Amino acid sequence: MRPGARNLITDVAGLRVGNAEDRRLKSGATVLVGDAPFTASVAVMGGAPGTRETDLLAPDKTAPGADALVLSGGSAFGLAAAQGVMDALAEAGRGFQVLSARVPIVPAAILFDLLNGGDKAWGENPYPALGRAALGAACADFSLGSVGAGTGAQTAQVKGGLGSASLMLPSGVTVGALVAVNPMGCVTTPSGRHFWAAPYEIGDEFGGLGPDPARGLQPLPPSKKLAAMAALGNTTIGIVATDAALDKGQCHRMAVAAHDGIGRAIQPAHSPMDGDLIFAAATGARALDATGMELAALGHAGAICMARAIARAVWEATPEPGDTLPAFRGG
């Protein structure tokens, strides 16, 4: 397996990603949209999720998939970013057709970034406009780090951010991940100089620092994030996507497997204080030959992409005035 040309989730043909952020607010939104609707599902493993329209993605529900997926900061306020995306898609004539009506399907998930040093004293909820702007910016090439839903994200020790990575399988199928990293846990090892995801790095995509040389179980350092803000301000939310032809049940299985990437890159993961969630999206461009074995390979690739994307999010984060935690590379 090797990364796609961009090493981004948009190596899956037909998908685009857009970011919008407000530096004063220290928050933002990220949108993944397809050239056409795509099959989608979701797996939630954290104890404190914040979501919109995720029930529709269950295999037994009527909606066949989604027009777009939204990752946003802002806690429950950020769910409104999906409304801005939905309104813009409706204006463009997109949506699930019910007789003469069209209803865009835009599931969303949020992370908590309300206590990160940004100015949250807004008079009108800013997230519908951020969602609309992120959709308008959607393209194949996009920035990582302190942008979009990762703008105000934090980990236990350093700033979080937005990350992405991709892999091309020997079969020709492409898998990619997109993630906003804001966990209670640590993305870096106790030394603070290496990433838990180091065994999965390809090239120098997050610095080429290698695994931590320390041997044996190392105690995690006290969380700087908890000291700076609050114990309930967390969550890692992401998307794993492929050009394979999957139904909603198979998408769900890929999302479940991709959660292994969170467990490999963040310690601890899936805590009661995290809302860890992964959407899965499949464009259906490539048929699977041996469905069971190939689905297992897709899940494995999704987990590797997710782990790499998490480390890339932290590696690419940049310092901003008023930050309550430093960026990994200074500030």
User: Tell me: the pLDDT tens digits for 49-88?
Assistant: 999 999 999 999 988 889 999 999 999 999 999 999 999 9
Question: What's the token pair of residue 205?
Answer: 């995509």
Judge whether 143 and 107 are in contact, CB under 8 Å. no
Q: For residues 77 and 275, what is the distance between their CA atoms, to the nearest angstrom?
A: 15
Q: For residues 53 and 66, what is the distance between their CA atoms, to the nearest angstrom?
A: 10
CB within 8 Å of 52: residues ≥ 6 apart: 70, 79, 82, 106, 107, 108, 109
In the 3-class helix/strand/coil scheme, how is the chain assigned residue by residue? CECCCCCCHHHCCCEEEEEEEECCCCEEEEEEEEEEEEEEEEEECCCCCCEECHHHHCCCCCCCCEEEEEEECCHHHHHHHHHHHHHHHHHCCCCEEECCEEECCCCEEECCCCCCCCCCCCCCCCHHHHHHHHHHCCECCCCCECCHHHCCCECCCCECEEEEEEEECCCCCEEEEEEEECCCCECECCCCCCECCHHHCCCCCCCCCCCCCCCCCCCCCCCHHHHHCCCCCCCCEEEEEEEECCCHHHHHHHHHHHHHHHHHHCECCCCCCCCCEEEEEEEEEECCCCHHHHHHHHHHHHHHHHHHHHHHHHHHCCCCCCCCCCCCCCC
Judge whether 50 and 70 are in contact, CB under 8 Å. no
Full-model pTM? 0.95
Q: For residues 89 and 172, what is the distance between their CA atoms, to the nearest angstrom?
A: 31
Exposed, middle or buried by CB within 10 Å (0-12, 13-18, 19+), for 144? Answer: buried
Going by DSSP bridges, is the β-strand pair 101-103/96-98 parallel, antiparallel, or unpaired? Answer: antiparallel
Q: For residues 215 and 160, what is the distance between their CA atoms, to the nearest angstrom?
A: 26
Provide the residue-wise pLDDT of the chain in tens; the chain has 331 residues: 899 999 999 999 999 999 999 999 999 999 999 999 999 999 999 999 999 999 999 999 988 889 999 999 999 999 999 999 999 999 999 998 888 889 999 999 999 999 998 999 999 999 999 999 999 999 999 999 999 999 999 999 999 999 999 999 999 999 999 999 999 999 999 999 999 999 999 999 999 999 999 888 888 887 877 666 544 568 899 999 999 999 999 999 999 999 999 999 999 999 898 999 999 999 999 998 766 788 999 999 999 999 999 999 999 999 999 999 999 998 5
Amino acid 331: pLDDT: 56
Amino acid 151: pLDDT: 97
Exposed, middle or buried by CB within 10 Å (0-12, 13-18, 19+), for 172? Answer: exposed
